[in-house]
Chains A and B, each alone.
Chain A
């Protein structure tokens, strides 16, 4: 046997032994199976995002499966006291869509398998939470509105997952059954003259930078990153039209943009029916109003809440859609959409950012 072949054979055996040893060690009773902390859960399976994720089952997470209210005094959190304020102990439901009775029997109680879920989900809906930070967002959904959302994206870029994507979260009316939703921490968009909380949330420092200040009522440091100081990507409020109304809104944080790109790429990978694009007018520009009924029905991809309902403005005029979509497409090894429309862009756009 030539020396090189002998060496390769031995190396092969060694690798095989290592693999076997790794497998045996991993199965030892009581040994932890560590996670990286970047995984989301789909049908009980874990998928990497490359971004910090806190699951509902983790310490510090937000669990939308629970019946109790989360932030009221503990002795009033149970269902007996909560039922005076909420209509149902569940804030989520089963995705049913066009399932057959036999499939419904198999999936009820959480029995979804991944292939069936992949054939069911085709939209990823972006919201701003109006509450300003994810802790307050969860309080509004779980304790007050009796609603839910799969993901919350906090100011520091931490992604919270509150329920498995197999569940139907209650966040976007007619699209709940087919979509995955995220609430991005941001106090929202307002018309000129409309009363708004932006002055209490955004303070200009001596350096001219806007700093996000979380009101004290949300408790000490609700952010996952200690001492995090959030800044909107752009100093001045962004103005733009949504549903035909001229609105003002502070932009999202660079940390939120980075996490959202990764989450978008992750979801478009797991769910092939979610096309990595946003709703466009005939000229390729972002559609800034609700999609007409039949188009909404046929639409498969990423979209804003305002593209589903006329009474909604989120995620507002500030969101840099091209940055999110084209950078997610770069991760997916897909060309920027505008190339498909005839332009030639060699790299995905950078985030528009002051400083």
Chain B
């Protein structure tokens, strides 16, 4: 038989294995995950992007009461208590908005079912972490601030989930109860008069590309992808207004954009109340400041932290909102958003890349 025919036959040999896998589960058989799943009320949903869960080796677990990066003999709750901002062992709470006493009794202790959670969650809040890499972000949240976030998106596009989405993570004050949050690794945005750390994180290499150099203080090889060198998708600083202030910021990496679009599509699919769009002015343009209280209360969709609080500027002026929303809608096979007159207000723009 020719080699070519053998190649054709090989998949046939796999067929019984494939079929057996569908029909029987012997005791102790591993049910392999694809590694792209997020966890919602104990159920797994695919994203199409690389995900490391809190329960996986190399993950970040926000359920734990111990500090994660201090010397281990000082990490216990008892030793950590004086060092934590809120002096309590939990970095997350219970989503208790709009629940009847009976529902509260049912969902306390983690008993959320998916339909109840779907009726409760309607915002997806995007942050930059000002930590630069997800490892440092978790260190800040878990070891110092007593805060939490459901997702961290590292420079290489790896998505870390630190808590089930049924928990109220502490990342966006008044929206914690109804939202899902993500911290995207990025050193942040600054006004021209402000001192910023950008020059120590962003360097120009011999080819003229802007590359991200992680300072040694961020720890040994914090990235999941070995020898990964991140580049902001745009070479130059991006300038733009947030909360009425002119800010500059380096853009996010291509890998982050790809994952963020997939995650946005996933969340808008799993949670029908999260409309796949961002807050817009009357003319359809991105709103670059906090939403007025009534609008915020009514808003259900994707948004930035600065749409919730006046004292916040994240995710900054660099984020290419149209790409995220357009790509997510494409993945969801949804039509582009339209304004009140029924006109298409956004086509599906490509990611602006020049680096």
Q: Which residues of A contact B (CB under 8 A)?
A: 1, 5, 8-13, 15-16, 19, 23, 26-36, 38-39, 41, 43-50, 55-63, 65-68, 70, 74, 77-80, 88-90, 104-106, 108-113, 164, 262, 265-270, 331
Contact = CB atoms under 8 A, between A and B. Distances in A.
B25 A109 contact: no
Find the residue from A31, A106, A265, A267 having the highest chain B CB count within 10 A: A31
A49 B109 contact: no
A33 B37 contact: yes
Contacts of B337: none
Given A12-B8, A30-B332, A55-B42, A112 B57 contact: yes
Nearest to B67: A109
Interface string B145-160: 0000000000000000
B34 A68 contact: no
Nearest to B12: A12
A266 B88 CA distance: 38
Nearest to B36: A27
Contacts of A56: 110
Contacts of A45: 30-33
18 contacts: A15-B12, A29-B262, A30-B46, A30-B267, A30-B268, A33-B33, A36-B31, A45-B30, A48-B28, A48-B29, A58-B42, A66-B63, A66-B109, A67-B65, A68-B108, A108-B72, A109-B61, A113-B57
Given A27-B36, A59-B113, A70-B109, A109 B88 contact: no
Nearest to A108: B72
Bin the interface of chain B by size. 35 or more
Contact of A61 (B36, B42, B54, B66): B42
Given A33-B37, A74-B105, A90 B11 contact: no
Nearest to A16: B11
B292 interface: no
Contact of B27 (A13, A16, A266): A266
A13 B41 contact: no
B75 to A, nearest CB: 7
A9 B12 CA distance: 8
A334 B87 CA distance: 53
A58 B42 CA distance: 5
Interface string B86-121: 001110000000000000111011111100000000
Contacts of B269: 29-31
Contact of A5 (B1, B30, B41, B88): B1
Find the residue from A44, A56, A80, A108 having the highest chain B CB count within 10 A: A44
Find the residue from B106, B108, B110 having the highest chain A CB count within 10 A: B110
